[in-house]
């Protein structure tokens, strides 16, 4: 159909990015920090509905800062969703702590509140209550936060809401990323809005965000010379990239609408085929459909890997659902809490496939993808 490969999720520029980039160049604010950074932080905070935000070099850096701010260290444990990208879990090891992974539930594919309750009971019995919990909002959908918050408040454990994939999504009318003590966003090149590379830490704890800014600029003390009393990091976003982010954020509602439209087109064309089930939209919120994700069940005439191979032969990129952390070689030694005999996150990984979902995906490209899948499903 085309000489160009159809990619999973590509950046979609608004056309307004150059204005902010030019302002950075004209003012010579090229290095980290500057007016665009300050403005982008305030605009994200306003959009999400929190008091403060700190722009970082990545979403991973933002998670790391959140754990540091919560005092996580060697000997501590941190609960974390198992079905996620490794960046959600790696910062736990950065701090010398041990992750305990929690299985998913059916209605959102996110952290299962029942499994979380069992994890807390187990941890209380074994005197290893977590220092924090990282709840991931998978593929653009919020976890069921009310029961998770209730459990965490009962045990006095702060929540880091990993909303890297879910900017623009909602939970009961509240923006994703605004429900935990900290929220984290990613602006990697494949996300719903992009700064090329970057992230954001948000919170209603303004003092903590100010401390995050301090730590992320190498923890330089207020002195006329370079003095450092604490360990810091080079985690701040550049003024140029923040300018790109400001233009991207102006289009966030349009991008959510476009991604949801891509999903509904897939659903209308493929949902009636035997063996296909799409990631549900839970009744409690708005899914931003960052990636359209579906399962190939036992009724499907081909399996997940065969479909990925068939799409690749037509220059269509797809990929499996995230491989759960408890199945990863670097994490398989850590505890994993489930309520299903065969973990749901493992089943979702085995059967799940992510389809091209760029907001700029053309109708012609999407028809070609759907036609390719229809041929394979006959």
Q: Which residue is catalytic, options 19, 131, 174, 191? A: 191
Token representation of residue 1: 């159909």
Distance CA 52, CA 237 (A): 16
Residues 6+ apart with CB under 8 A from 221: 227, 228, 229
Residue whose pair of structure tokens reads 């959510």 in the numeric block: 256
How far is Cα 316 from Cα 12, in angstroms, rounded to an integer?
18
Quick one: residue 342, left, alpha or beta (phi over 0 = left, psi -120 to 50 = alpha)?
A: beta
Give the CA radius of gyration of the chain: 21
Written as six digits, the tokens of 227 are 């003095």
Give CA separation, 92 vs 66, 73, 133, 144, in Å: 10, 8, 10, 23
Place of tokens 């403005």: 39
Reading the block at residue 27, the tokens are 């003012």
- Please tell me the distance from the alpha carbon of residue 171 to that of residue 282, in angstroms, as a whole number: 9
The two tokens of residue 123 are 């941890």
Give φ, ψ of 78 to 5 degrees: -135, 125
d(CA 6, CA 10): 9
- 178 vs 256: CA distance, rounded Å: 18
Angle at 352 between CA 346 and CA 355, to 5 degrees: 150
In angstroms, the CA 62 to CA 47 distance is 18
Q: Is 175 part of the annotated catalytic residue set? A: no
> Which position has the token pair 């891509």?
262
> Annotated active-site positions, please?
191
């Amino acid at each position: 159909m085309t000489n160009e490969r159809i990619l999973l999720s590509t950046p979609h520029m608004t056309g307004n990015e150059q204005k902010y980039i030019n302002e950075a160049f004209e003012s010579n604010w090229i290095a980290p920090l500057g007016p665009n950074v300050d403005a982008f932080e305030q605009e994200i905070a306003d959009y999400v509905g929190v008091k403060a935000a700190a722009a970082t070099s990545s979403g991973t850096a933002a998670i790391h800062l959140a754990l540091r701010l919560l005092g996580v260290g060697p000997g501590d444990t941190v609960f974390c969703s198992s079905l996620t990208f490794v960046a959600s879990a790696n910062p736990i090891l950065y701090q010398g702590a041990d992750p305990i992974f929690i299985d998913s539930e059916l209605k959102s594919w996110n952290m299962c509140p029942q499994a979380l309750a069992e994890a807390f009971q187990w941890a209380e019995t074994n005197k290893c209550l977590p220092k924090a919990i990282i709840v991931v909002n998978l593929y653009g959908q919020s976890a069921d936060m009310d029961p998770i918050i209730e459990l965490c408040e009962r045990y006095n454990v702060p929540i880091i809401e990993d909303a890297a994939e879910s900017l623009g999504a909602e939970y009961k009318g509240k923006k994703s990323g605004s429900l935990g003590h900290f929220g984290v966003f990613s602006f990697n090149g494949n996300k719903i809005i992009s700064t090329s590379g970057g992230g954001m830490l948000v919170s209603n704890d303004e003092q903590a965000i100010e401390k995050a800014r301090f730590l992320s600029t190498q923890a330089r003390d207020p002195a006329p010379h370079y003095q450092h009393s604490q360990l810091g990091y080079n985690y701040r976003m550049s003024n140029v990239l923040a300018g790109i982010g400001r233009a991207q954020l102006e289009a966030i509602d349009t991008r959510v609408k476009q991604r949801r439209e891509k999903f509904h087109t897939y659903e209308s064309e493929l949902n009636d085929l035997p063996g296909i089930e799409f990631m549900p939209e839970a009744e409690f919120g708005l899914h931003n459909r960052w990636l359209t994700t579906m399962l190939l069940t036992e009724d499907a005439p081909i399996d997940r890997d065969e479909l990925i191979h068939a799409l690749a032969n037509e220059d269509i990129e797809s990929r499996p659902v995230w491989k759960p952390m408890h199945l990863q070689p670097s994490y398989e030694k850590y505890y994993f809490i489930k309520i299903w005999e065969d973990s749901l996150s493992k089943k979702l990984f085995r059967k799940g496939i992510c389809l091209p979902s760029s907001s700029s995906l053309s109708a012609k490209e999407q028809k070609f993808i759907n036609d390719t899948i229809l041929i394979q499903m006959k």
